[in-house]
Amino acid sequence: MTARRIALVALHSSPLEPVGSGEAGGMTIYLLTLARALVRAGERVDLITRRTDPADAAVVELEPGLRVRLIDDGDPRYLDKPDLQPPLIEAFSRALAAGERYDLIHSHYWYSGMAALPVAREWGVPHVQTFHTLAALTATLRPPGAGPQEPERFRGEAMLARESDLVISLSRAEAAQITEGNVRVVSPGVDRELFHPGGPAGDYLLIAARLRTVKGIDLAIDALAQIPVAERPELRIAGGGTPTHRRRITDHAAAAGVEIRLLGSLDREHLAAAMRSAAIVLIPSYSETFGLVATEGAASGVPVIASRAGGLQDAVREGVSGLLVDERSPELWAEAITSLMRDPERRRELGLRGREYSAETDSRVAAARVRELYAGLMDAAETERARG
């Protein structure tokens, strides 16, 4: 059977960026993991994003059958998500339509869907949407000073859910917010070969996140400040950020009298090593659509303490792979951290059970389910075209 051509569109986040820097985070990991699994299964996949440097090649082959395509939208600069205004999205859409054709387009984040859905309709091929963050889910879970979600996003996401052939949601919490359209929940898969137990017993806490306010790192620092110095663990943070982001975090820690280590952006191998040697993985985010780090911690045999917010309620199985904290209270977080740090046997038990639980979200299983959904849509489209 001839391999079908699949486009994974991520307008605002390049898979060529180091994970943990800029806009490259959990979505980038998800895309690369899915793309490689699809290629191993016999498909041809292009990851499509903006070109942010005129010197970059238009096409980069990652491996046979898997490429990154960089599309010119008229502004060859790196831009954060808030700076990607409608004219750029429209220019990206026109450039996408004028280029190579695919048998299916899968858009990631609402900007990508706004650009790619019209192209899929023009070509007569299926359009799949994954939001990764959904305005309706995050509107009440935003850090102080973040401001309200833009009305255009609510309208755009509603239209994309209604008009796309399929929405693949990464968690039940997100799917519950989508009231129209064809929605299926397929949780992201974790690479259980890369993330596995076996490191030396650690005594530090690990946060794996970009240094953004929404990741709640301030809450972790404030929680540690509640713990007596004699039993306070070190906090290590793996993730990139601008000098301003780093300075804000270090200043906050210094003011609180808390010791932290900023590890910077780690590649996947070094992150896995840091994770399996941690005592606890912390995820104090205001919101996560799923929370891939939680399943990576579980696969590493390390207990997770996370916010009871969004998709983290799916990613952490309470009492099995870790604990969920109901409120953004430093005192409650300090209590959860202390309870596990004082009980190595409980940490060990949660680690063992978490590793077992992670088998339910193996990346190969998740990718096979997505490919099955793709195949159903492409087969139906081919049948419709044959009928004329």
Residue 243 and residue 270: Cα distance in Å, rounded? 22
Q: Tell me the mean pLDDT in the region 299-315.
A: 93
Displacement of CA 232 from its chain's centroid (Å) = 30
What is the structure's pLDDT at 148? Answer: 58
What is the structure's pLDDT at 138? Answer: 64
CA count, 13 A, side-chain hemisphere, 30: 30
| Alpha-helical regions (H) of the chain | 26-40, 86-97, 110-123, 135-138, 151-163, 172-175, 217-225, 243-256, 268-276, 292-299, 312-315, 330-341, 344-358, 363-386
pLDDT digits (tens, 9 = 90+) for 211-221: 999 899 999 99
Residue type, 353: R
The CA distances from residue 170 to 137, 149, 184, 219, 356, in Å, are: 13, 21, 9, 25, 20
What is the structure's pLDDT at 288? Answer: 86
Displacement of CA 297 from its chain's centroid (Å) = 14
Q: Look at 104-108, 137-141, 378-382 and tell me which has the smallest mean pLDDT.
A: 137-141
- Nearest residue to 206 via CA among 246, 245, 239, 235: 235
Residue 30 and residue 28: Cα distance in Å, rounded? 5
The beta-carbon contacts of 72-81 under 8 Å, at least 24 apart in sequence, are: 76/51, 76/52, 77/52, 78/22, 78/52, 78/53, 79/12, 79/50, 79/52, 80/22, 80/23, 81/12, 81/23, 81/111
Residue 90 and residue 234: Cα distance in Å, rounded? 47
For residue 140, what pLDDT band results from cuts at 50, 70 and 90? low
What is the structure's pLDDT at 74? Answer: 77
pLDDT digits (tens, 9 = 90+) for 162-185: 999 999 999 888 899 998 999 999
Could you give the 3-state DSSP secondary structure of residue 46?
strand
- List beta partners, residue 167: 129, 183
The CA distances from residue 137 to 110, 173, 286, in Å, are: 14, 8, 11
Q: Is the pLDDT of residue 343 over 60?
A: yes
pTM score, two decimals? 0.86
What is the structure's pLDDT at 202? Answer: 83
Q: Is the pLDDT of residue 142 over 70?
A: no
Cα 172–Cα 178–Cα 181 angle in degrees, nearest 5: 115
CA count, 13 A, side-chain hemisphere, 23: 20
Q: Tell me the mean pLDDT in the region 177-201.
A: 90
Tokens representing 126? 């299926």
Domains and CATH numbers, the chain: 5-189+362-386 (3.40.50.2000), 205-361 (3.40.50.2000)
CA count, 13 A, side-chain hemisphere, 249: 30
Residue 14 and residue 79: Cα distance in Å, rounded? 11
What is the structure's pLDDT at 146? Answer: 58
What is the structure's pLDDT at 145? Answer: 58
For residue 240, what pLDDT band results from cuts at 50, 70 and 90? confident
Q: What is the DSSP string of 267-316?
A: -HHHHHHHHHT-SEEEE--S--SS-HHHHHHHHTT--EEEES-TTHHHHS
Could you give the 3-state DSSP secondary structure of residue 92?
helix
What is the structure's pLDDT at 79? Answer: 66
**Which of 7-21, 182-196, 250-264 is most confident?**
250-264
Look-up of token digits 């990576």: 296
Q: Look at 15-29, 122-136, 166-180 and tell me which has the smallest mean pLDDT.
A: 15-29
Q: Tell me the mean pLDDT in the region 190-210.
A: 91
Q: Is the pLDDT of residue 208 over 80?
A: yes
Mean pLDDT taken over the chain = 90
Sign, CA torsion 17/147/260/329? negative
Give me the helix-helix angle, 86-97 and 110-123, nearest 10°. 30
Q: Tell me the mean pLDDT in the region 365-377.
A: 94
What is the structure's pLDDT at 260? Answer: 97
Displacement of CA 44 from its chain's centroid (Å) = 23
Q: Look at 62-76, 132-146, 293-307 and tell me which has the smallest mean pLDDT.
A: 132-146
What is the structure's pLDDT at 149? Answer: 64
- List beta partners, residue 108: 130
Q: Is the pLDDT of residue 199 over 70?
A: yes
Q: Is the pLDDT of residue 3 over 90?
A: no
